[in-house]
Amino acid sequence: MTSKPKIWLSSPHLGESERKYVQDAFDTNWIAPLGPHVNAFEASLAEYTQSTHAAALSSGTAAIHLALILLGVEPGDTVLCQSMTFCGSANPIRYQGARPVFVDSEKDTWNMDPQALEEAIQALLAEGTTPKAVIPVHLYGMPAKMDEILEVAGRYHIPVIEDAAEALGSVYRERKCGSFGTFRILSFNGNKIITTSGGGALLADDEAAIQRARFLATQARDPAPHYQHSEVGYNYRLSNVLAAIGRGQLEVLSERVAQRRRIFERYRAFFKSWEERGYQIAFQEEPAGSFSNRWLTCIRVDPARNHGLTREAIPLALAGDNIEARPPRKPMPMHPAFQPHPLF
């Protein structure tokens, strides 16, 4: 056992602004869901991401689920999803009874490969299936090749849901991540670059769509003087207290991004000495025109080129110094829950 203090993989950082806004929620007794901090947080998110409208929700997964509903995804439909991602990108497809078809990654950004995306679309069209949506992800904060993805999807008239859960503060060709596609989603889970403890957001330029998302996320309660529900809804709205935390977090987002980028450069400098000893450590590099928030610093290690060093050995060695690290995610088709579904 080590006596060194624990260094967590991605721990939250709270400050005085968060305390101020939460205290206001307590002082005004506005603890119940919804309220002025929710409204203000939505407005700030829309402004920051250069979107027109935002709905603050309980998670990024909930945001993807609502986006699929708004796009009319139903049982038996097909949705294209990035293969290298967290299950929150893919699970909502199954919530709707739809079939996920996974698209492999390109080497530059580790995100959805536009060429593989087109191959998947053409293969599905050849079997008589028109995909209902495409879900690209900005993995670990690195912007995907959105121009190419949007061009391919647009050519076949397939709407895009931009999964920017990990990429708040990242920029692609002078546009903020969270501003692409028909719908865009964010996550404020406890380990994200800013957090509301748990939470997310759905963004769009369509006011009517966001209003409907808010309606569905509030148990689809009809505007009646009594409790009445004409359709199935969901308990997906963010609370006023958690939105208060988010307002304070958003104020210091630029500081969080700068800090994560410094951490990335510290690791890069550290591994320089390894390269001098014959190791080949590959980082997730920024292509021209991309700016990553560096939410997580990730490396690729080929044992054949690194004296037998494996990805499992590095977290174990770091754990000896009480430093949390873990292997990156497995592609979705490698998980038992998604193995019946195809990969392109």
pLDDT in tens, 109-139: 999 999 999 999 999 999 999 999 999 999 9
Residue of 139, 41, 17, 141 lying closest to 84 (CA atoms): 139
CA 235 to CA 240: how far, in whole Å? Answer: 14
Q: How many residues does the chain have?
A: 344
* Tokens 């993995």, located at residue: 139
Q: Would residue 202 count as lying in a domain?
A: yes
Q: Would residue 259 count as lying in a domain?
A: no
Query: 221 pLDDT exceeds 70?
Result: yes
Q: Predicted confidence band at 203 (pLDDT cuts at 50, 70, 90)? A: very high
Predicted local confidence at residue 68, as pLDDT: 98
Q: Predicted confidence band at 242 (pLDDT cuts at 50, 70, 90)? A: very high
How is residue 19 written in tokens?
């305390």
312-331: per-residue pLDDT in tens? Answer: 888 898 888 999 998 888 89
Domain count, the chain: 1
* CATH number, residue 238: 3.40.640.10
45-75: per-residue pLDDT in tens? Answer: 999 999 999 999 999 999 999 999 999 999 9
Rounded to 10 degrees, the C-alpha dihedral 113/115/120/126 comes to: 170
Q: Would residue 137 count as lying in a domain?
A: yes
CA 105 to CA 83: how far, in whole Å? Answer: 7
Q: Would residue 198 count as lying in a domain?
A: yes
Q: Predicted confidence band at 1 (pLDDT cuts at 50, 70, 90)? A: low
CA 172 to CA 286: how far, in whole Å? Answer: 10
Task: Determine the structural domain holding residue 149 and report its residue range.
Answer: 16-253+331-338
Q: Would residue 117 count as lying in a domain?
A: yes
Query: What angle is formed at CA 165 by the lines to CA 162 and CA 250, rounded to 5 degrees?
Result: 115
Query: 92 pLDDT exceeds 90?
Result: yes
Q: Would residue 288 count as lying in a domain?
A: no
Query: 44 pLDDT exceeds 90?
Result: yes
